[in-house]
Amino acid sequence: MAGKPLPWSFSDSPREECGVVGVYSPDDHAARVVFFGLFALQHRGQESAGIASSDGESIRTHTDMGLVTQAFREESLTPLIGDMAIGHTRYSTTGSSNISNAQPFLVSGVHGQLALGHNGNLINAVDLRKQLESKWGYGFSSSTDSEALAYLLASAPGDTWEERTAHCMRNVQGAFSAVAQTKDSIIGMKDPLGVRPLCLGKLNGGGWILASESCALDHVGAEFVRELEPAETVVIDRDGVHSSVWAGRTQKRALCVFELIYFARPDTRLDDVQVYGTRRAMGARLAQERPAEGDLVIGIPDSATAAAMGYAAESGIPYSDGLIKNRYVGRTFIAPDQRLRDLDVQLKFNPLPDVIAGKRLVVVDDSIVRGTTTPRVVSLLRQAGAAEIHMRVCAPPIQWACHFGVDMATRRELIAANKTIDQIARIIGVDSLGYLSVEGLLEVVGGKRRGFCHACFSGDYPIPVQLEMDKLVLERSNEPA
């Protein structure tokens, strides 16, 4: 499927980042375990998928475009032999969607071959790439920051991988939870702020697994051990698990709060708290801050369902399904014709008129980004007979772009950065609109105690960024002047 265009999508939500998995499974086909781990992380990226494996002598890779089940068949999985493997499922946050940007990247450096898969975004990727080209003469095959991170690690000074990852942490700015594969070890590392999640689990039979979310551990029968610390490196080899924390880290923490609002699967545990319960609590707090008179509470499926249930329980207004989601149209390589494109929301959602006709609806959603899809959902509900529609959003208004691994939109595209709440309500066609406050959100998630990045709501970035940087910056840096 190389060369296929960007998968057509209906979504106006923040785009997922990426999912990574690393497995050491003695006396087993590790790539097969990685495959099922990636399958559990499919919600984090649907553009491409790949696996790299090692049998102790050499590294083999396979990458392709599409969903995990599109990228892999038995004939592509079987040759990935060995008891160690890493995998990656991608949504493009730096670089466009094509096969050259599919991960894991396999590179060669002074320490031999190394494959790497990366979740996050490096804000100094252009400078890193120029340094690597000038110092080492590397020829880059992609337009993604992840390849720069792979070459940096493959050529880093130090006698151990812990020393080499420390070199990366000193020189890289931004977010990176990454897994790497050498011929005889698996490496997991998390940036000093801990922006993106990465956890460790234990497999039956003495093996180990690293994954972006704990739900991937559940799918392969692994026991959750712990979340990696910010600035931590874990090296897994045949002697076990070796951990080190970069001495240069500070006490500052900045886990992306959108992991709890939208990205992580509801059954995932982050910081030993299940995401589902946190989302219900967000909905309850939203009901306290932004009450509405209504007959039914419904959620925009599936990401706002838990918050809608929390809103209903707190407000005393009954909860009901009001929209049925077709879960098989979110990503497709077949672009619809214009007639179907005009019906995009109808292809994704179908209302239940017998439930919502004549009712005052409190509609809970997780976010409004550009404001292009929400009016069409509201129109569907109006056509189905809703008497009133009161939109409630279990996140604060998104007013700033993300530079740490989420394709949110540029600031000029963000509706809340350019319109008042009353103006947005008129644009999307609702009777009233209310958002959860930043203060309320942080109280629910324990933000003052645990530390979160909430820059997309507040503009308070945990490290300085170029405000107009975008995902194609590496492609433009290669264009002739």
Residue 465: per-residue pLDDT = 80
Please state the rounded mean pLDDT for residues 396-408: 87
The CATH-assigned architecture of domain 277-447 is 3-Layer(aba) Sandwich (3.40)
Q: Is residue 394 flagged as an active site residue?
A: no
Q: Which residue has the tokens 């930043």?
A: 438
The CA distances from residue 411 to 64, 250, 260, 373, 454, in Å, are 32, 30, 22, 18, 15
pLDDT reported for residue 143: 78
**What percent helix, strand, coil does the chain show, rounded to 5?**
30, 25, 45
Query: Hey, CA dihedral for 442, 443, 444, 447, is it positive or negative?
Result: positive
Query: How many C-beta atoms surround the C-beta of residue 141 within 10 A?
Result: 11
Of 325-339, 409-423, 436-450, the one with minimum mean pLDDT is 325-339
pLDDT in tens, 170-189: 999 999 999 999 999 999 99
Which one is predicted more confidently, 241 or 472? Answer: 241
Pairing mode of beta strands 269-270, 323-325 = unpaired
The arithmetic mean of pLDDT across residues 280-286, rounded, is 98
Question: What SS3 state is found at 410?
Answer: coil
What does the angle CA 467 – CA 469 – CA 254 come to, to the nearest 5 degrees?
65
pTM here? 0.89
Contact 85, 10 (CB under 8 A): no
Contact 384, 353 (CB under 8 A): yes
Q: Which CATH architecture has domain 18-254?
A: 4-Layer Sandwich (3.60)
Averaged pLDDT, 148-169: 96
The letter for the amino acid at 342 is D
What mean pLDDT is predicted for residues 38-45? Answer: 94
**Helix 145-154 / helix 125-136 crossing angle, nearest 10 deg:** 40
Fill in the amino acid letter for 250: T
Instruction: Report whether pLDDT(217) > 60.
Output: yes
Give the mean model confidence (pLDDT) for residues 335-359. 79
Angle at 17 between CA 12 and CA 20, to 5 degrees: 150
* pLDDT at residue number 272: 78
94 pLDDT band, cuts 50/70/90, is very low
Average pLDDT over every residue of 213-220: 97
Kindly state the average pLDDT of the residues 327-333. Answer: 56
Could you tell me where the beta strands, DSSP code E, fall in 141-249?
174-181, 186-190, 199-202, 208-211, 223-227, 232-237, 240-245
Q: How confident is the model at residue 4 (pLDDT cuts 50, 70, 90)?
A: very low
At 134 the three-state DSSP class reads helix
pLDDT of residue 339: 59
Least confident of 215-224, 251-260, 404-413, 422-431: 404-413
pLDDT at 404: 87
**pLDDT higher than threshold 50 for residue 274:** yes
Per-residue pLDDT, 329: 61
Let me know: does 279 contact 261? Beta carbons within 8 Å.
Answer: yes
What pLDDT is recorded for position 5? 35
215 band by pLDDT with thresholds 50, 70 and 90: very high
More confident residue, 99 or 320: 320
Choose the weakest-confidence range: 2-6, 113-117, 337-341.
Answer: 2-6
- Average pLDDT of the residues in 86-110: 81
d(CA 66, CA 18): 13
Q: Say what the pLDDT of residue 100 is.
A: 84
In percent, the amount of the chain with pLDDT more than 90 equals: 75
The catalytic residue among 18, 215, 256, 394 is 18
Query: What mean pLDDT value characterizes the chain?
Result: 89
Neighbours of 239 (CB within 10 A): 8
Model confidence at 403, pLDDT cuts 50, 70, 90, reads: confident
Collect all residues with Cβ–Cβ distance below 8 Å to 134 and sequence separation of at least 6.
none
Residue the block writes with tokens 């894991």: 104
Domain residue ranges of the chain, discontinuous segments joined by +: 18-254, 277-447
Q: Please check the confidence at residue 376 and state whether its pLDDT lies above 90.
A: yes
Q: Does the pLDDT at position 479 exceed 90?
A: no
